[in-house]
Homo-oligomer: A and B are copies of this chain.
């Protein structure tokens, strides 16, 4: 039988920003026997998880669940609402924003890729990858689009590649201030269920998410939360679509069913995850992630290393990007840490490859696990000969000992 026995002893420290560590309860739930996806027991399950996801997205409108990765849910957002050649306004905040933009191009759309200009003097990294979405730039750009060619504004809520969480409500205000009819589409794949998110209140038309981050499931299911305006677009949107088509799914979801075979066992896990999240309360879950994030940043500051996120108000509760000193290959450091301490960290992606690593602090975790993680990083820095200003572990211990309830 599969043993996954490459770990010398004990639990692997999975500290990447997703897939996140999956709680034991959820792992047991997904191992229950598969049932008939057309039977009454499944229908009840289907209705329950859809209602639960509406609560997580804070929406009264339909949520569509796909058997796919989060990337599939990006595609679904576009093909249900767009026609070939449609213009989009997308915002470069990092690697995942870039991938979504490339996808739009592949699908025959015309995305304009808005970015903060310039390079950060201190680190040499692009400014766009250290800051959040600039709503002012969006407003200016939309104001210039007098013919309303731009069909949608697409932003990433929590940039998994950088650790910056953008202000989505501000983007909605910018669109409204420009009196522009563009849809607002938001990727909250790594934000949902770890960071506060309000689909309806923030006026989002399509929210995109996935299972393997704040929902603490293995990868394999993904989500679109819709607005009535987005749903209405399916009538005119001309991109070909079948698998991703909302209409048929939403119609069958009324009974708790899907047009094709849904991912039964991961939906067991989703049911379990929703029980856990609502049992604890989403606000408590968000506060927990904020506290973890602040503790990890205390460590990074003590080491004397810059965080990728350059804006104090936008630090992600989900992950922290750490920039390595010039000349230090962040991936070599990660490899050393993985081999010596069985600790997985996130790599630098795209334009920051080799210049940073990412510490995930999400999912089924706690303060001691994070302190073990920080100890692994600190030992790795030492072994790699990277000079550090002080002990990050000490700083994080001081933080966690004093501030258990960072609301």
A contacts, CB < 8 Å to B: 1-14, 16, 18-22, 24-25, 27-41, 44-45, 66-72, 75, 79, 84, 103, 106-108, 210, 212, 218-221, 239-243, 245, 259-266, 268, 271-272, 275-276, 279-280, 288, 338, 340-344, 347, 364-373, 375-376, 378-379, 382-383, 391, 393-394, 397, 400-401, 404
- Which single residue of chain B is at the shortest CB-CB distance from A276? B5
- Residues B27 and A32 in contact, CB atoms below 8 Å apart: yes
Q: Which residue of B lies closest to A248 (CB)?
A: B106
Copies in the complex: 4
Note all chain B residues with C-beta closer than 8 A to A10. 21, 364-366, 368-369
Chain B residue numbers with a CB within 8 Å of A3 are 1, 25
CB-defined contacts of A70 to chain B, threshold 8 Å: 260-261
Known pairs A37-B219, A71-B242 / 15 extra A-B pairs, C-beta < 8 Å: A1-B25, A4-B25, A9-B280, A9-B365, A18-B261, A19-B35, A27-B33, A34-B218, A68-B68, A210-B261, A220-B263, A341-B367, A368-B376, A372-B375, A393-B393
Known: A4-B41, A340-B404. A68 touches B67 (CB 8 A): yes
Q: Name the B residues within 8 Å of A27 (CB-CB).
A: 31-33
Residues of B within 8 A of A79 (CB): 240
> Contact at B11–A34, with CB atoms within 8 Å?
no
Nearest CB in chain B to that of A39: its residue: B344
CB pair B12–A25 under 8 Å, yes or no, is: no
- Report whether A242 and B368 are in contact in the complex, using a CB–CB cutoff of 8 Å: no
Closest chain B CB from A391 CB (angstroms): 6
Among A34, A69, A279: residue with most chain B CB under 10 A: A34
Contact of A32 among B24, B261, B376 (CB under 8 A): B24
Known: A1-B2, A69-B262, A260-B70. A12 touches B31 (CB 8 A): no
Q: Indicate whether A39 sits within 8 Å of B338 (C-beta atoms), given known contacts A72-B68, A243-B71.
A: yes
Given A36-B16, A36-B344, A242-B103 in contact, is the A268-B4 Cβ separation under 8 Å?
yes
Minimum CB–CB distance for A158 against chain B, Å:
15
Q: Determine how close the nearest CB of chain B comes to the CB of A106; give it in whole angstroms.
A: 4
* Contact call B11/A35, Cβ cutoff below 8 A: no
A108 to chain B: closest residue by CB: B240
Instruction: State A404–B191 Cα separation when bound (angstroms).
Output: 37
Cross-interface CB contact of A341 among B1, B39, B242, B368, cutoff 8 Å = B368
Q: How far is the CA of A240 from the CA of B1 in the complex (A)?
A: 40
7 smallest A-B Cβ distances: which pairs? A372-B372, A10-B366, A1-B1, A31-B31, A368-B372, A71-B260, A220-B263
Q: Which residue of B lies closest to A84 (CB)?
A: B240
Q: Assess the A379–B397 pair: CB atoms within 8 A.
A: yes
Complex CA gap A30/B288 in Å reads 28
Chain B min CB distance to A111 (Å): 12
Contact status B364-A242, CB under 8 Å: no
Residue contact B25 to A263, C-beta cutoff 8 Å:
no
Residues of chain B within 8 A of A400, CB atoms compared? 379
Closest chain-B Cβ to A321's Cβ sits at a distance in Å of: 16
The answer to whether A394 touches B394, judged by C-beta atoms less than 8 angstroms apart, is yes
- List of B residues within 8 angstroms of A272 by Cβ: 1-2
In the complex, what's the smallest C-beta–C-beta distance from A373 to chain B, in angstroms? Answer: 7
Chain B residue nearest to A75 (CB atoms) is B243
A106 touches B394 (CB 8 A): no
How many angstroms between the C-alpha atoms of A6 and B276 in the bound complex?
A: 11
Max count, chain B CB within 10 A of own CB: residue among A35, A338, A342? A35
Query: Quick one: which of A13, A67, A341 has the most chain B CB within 10 A?
Result: A67
Given contacts A2-B1, A275-B1, contact A33 B16 (CB under 8 A): no
Docked pose: A40 CA to B401 CA in angstroms: 23
C-alpha spacing A106/B30, complex, angstroms? 34
Also in contact, A382 and B401, with CB within 8 A (given A1-B272, A347-B38): yes
Contact of A5 among B25, B69, B263, B375 (CB under 8 A): B25
